[in-house]
Amino acid sequence: MSDESRPEPPDGALDTAPKRRGKAKRKHTVGRVVLISALVLALITGLSTVYFIRHLNGNIEGVSTDALDEDARPQEVYTGNGEPLDILVMGSDSRDCDGCGIDQEGGGGSDTTILVHLSADRSRAYAVSIPRDSIVNRPEDGCDSPAVTDVIWNAAYSVGGPLCTMRQLEENTGIRVEHFIVVDFASFGSMVDAVGGVPVCVPEDIKDPKHSIFVPKGNPSVLTGDEALDYVRARYVGDLIQQNDISRIRRQQEFIGALVREVLSAGTLTRLDKVVRFLDAATKSLTTDDEFANVTRLGKVAMQLQGIGLDKIKFVTLPTAYYPRDSDFWGRVYWTDQATQIWKLIAEDKELPAKLIGGTSVSAEGPPGSSESPSAGGSSTGTPETSTGTPTGTPTETPTETPTETPTETGTPTSPTTPTETTDPEDKIYGVCA
């Protein structure tokens, strides 16, 4: 609103107006940031809304899904009122940087895969992290290669990019994915720097000299963009190397929650320079499906999120267990019966009960580093190894529910008959605070 059109208050009104009471803490949502920030920029700075949208749209690369076999894709299971939304989020690492190649992989891999589910009534949201070491079946559709069984999850991105990973998830879960988003790790670091760093509680230094990684301990430790990348990608915590990806998933969940809280804080939203830098960094090098390659469309989804508070956004690690030591897949994980239950409930747009996800979930609400206390909830954990990479032995931990067989109708491989029992280690092994 311009100065010319803003009405002047009557004489003495400012002197007689009652003092405002302290405002109660309000619940925020992730999606509202884009919409609110765009309006603030347009109204207060006078920046052209059209120019601003065109600029952000120019940062986003759209990928067509027309080549996918529609008949092979799962149909929507939910038939109630409203429309649930499933968005597959992937983190892409070009590895064109010092210290990259942590997992002895080539460039263009995807070490982070999260299915974000928004309920039809927009009252809750789940972000389910899939361990990169999961052994699954990969379809031909979308992957530009013959279908194959019993392959590691994150190989799909190298084979066929985001479309292959999306179809792999659909084949193994029976969930239809409406949209996908790929966030480049370099842009992720720029997003962190744009808000002036993100505070995270780090119980001890995270060091990996071989890959030039160092994250300082602190409660909290305010991480820069480079430190944040190290924090969410490191395999070494203290003197241990994690055998699988669970420790990194836990740190990623803690950090994403802390980043969301930082973006929604008054220290960011009231600083227009931070808002401009963050939105530019958030959309730069972003790859989505064609329909999502438009900030207007993203803004509409943001408006639908208004009823979801941070306390209703849950990060969940998919429950897994180790293959036995004598298996060809030793060191890899398979999805347990609890994972099958999670996918079924999400497909039906039902709430995930605490008894199913209580030991593996992290809320987006609360101070940095806070989370629900770990318990034996059926998730696998990284088996500590020495720095030479030799496993120290079979995890001696609280057993999870032994899966009998992963349903063949979802396409996942048959589970071994004698799983290695796993449980959650201490938070310090994860590299997070309790």
Tokens found for residue 263 = 């973006």
User: What is the Cα–Cα distance from 107 to 158, expressed in whole angstroms?
Assistant: 8
Query: How many whole angstroms separate alpha carbon 384 and alpha carbon 391?
Result: 7
The radius of gyration of the chain from alpha carbons, rounded to an integer in Å, stands at 22
Q: Which residue shows structure tokens 């979308």?
A: 142
Beta bridge partners of 90: 113, 182
Q: pTM, whole model, 2 decimals?
A: 0.73
Residue 22 pLDDT: 47
Instruction: Tell me the CATH architecture of domain 57-96+104-363.
Output: 3-Layer(aba) Sandwich (3.40)
CB-based burial of residue 207 (10 Å sphere; 0-12 exposed, 13-18 middle, 19+ buried)?
middle
Give the whole-angstrom CA distance, residue 314 versus residue 196: 25
Res 379: pLDDT: 38
Distance CA 117, CA 357 (A): 15
Instruction: Collect all residues with Cβ–Cβ distance below 8 Å to 392 and sequence separation of at least 6.
Output: 383, 384, 385, 386
The pLDDT of residue 403: 36
Give the three-class secondary structure for 119. Answer: coil
383, two tokens: 């088996």
Q: Which helix (H) or strand (E) holds 89?
A: strand 85-93
Nearest CA-CA partner of 172 in 155, 142, 149: 149
3-class DSSP state of 210: helix
- CA-based angle 339:343:345, to the nearest 5? 115
**Looking at the DSSP assignment, which residues form a beta bridge with residue 241?**
236, 385
Domain ranges of the chain: 57-96+104-363
Spatial contact of 144 and 128, defined as CB atoms under 8 Å apart: no
Q: What's the distance, Cα to Cα, between the start and end of the chain in Å?
A: 46
Give the strand pairing for 148-152 and 236-237: unpaired
Rounded to 5°, angle at Cα 229 from 54 and 370: 100
What is the per-residue DSSP string for 247-268? Answer: HHHHHHHHHHHHHHHHHHSHHH
Identify the DSSP state of 339.
Answer: H
C-alpha to C-alpha distance for 348 and 342, rounded to whole angstroms: 10
Tell me what pLDDT residue 192 has. Answer: 92
List the structure tokens of 167: 């179809």
Residue-wise pLDDT tens for the chain (434 aa)? 444 444 555 555 445 545 444 444 444 555 555 555 555 544 444 445 566 678 888 888 999 999 999 999 999 999 889 999 999 999 887 544 444 444 444 444 667 899 999 999 999 999 999 999 999 999 999 998 999 999 999 999 999 999 999 999 999 999 999 999 998 887 888 999 999 999 999 888 888 887 788 888 898 899 999 999 888 888 766 555 554 577 888 888 888 888 888 887 777 777 877 877 888 888 887 899 998 888 778 767 766 655 687 788 899 999 999 999 999 998 899 999 999 999 999 999 999 998 898 766 777 775 433 433 333 233 343 333 333 333 333 333 333 333 333 333 344 444 454 444 333 444 565 677 75
Q: How far is CA 139 from CA 144, 156, 181, in A?
A: 9, 9, 20
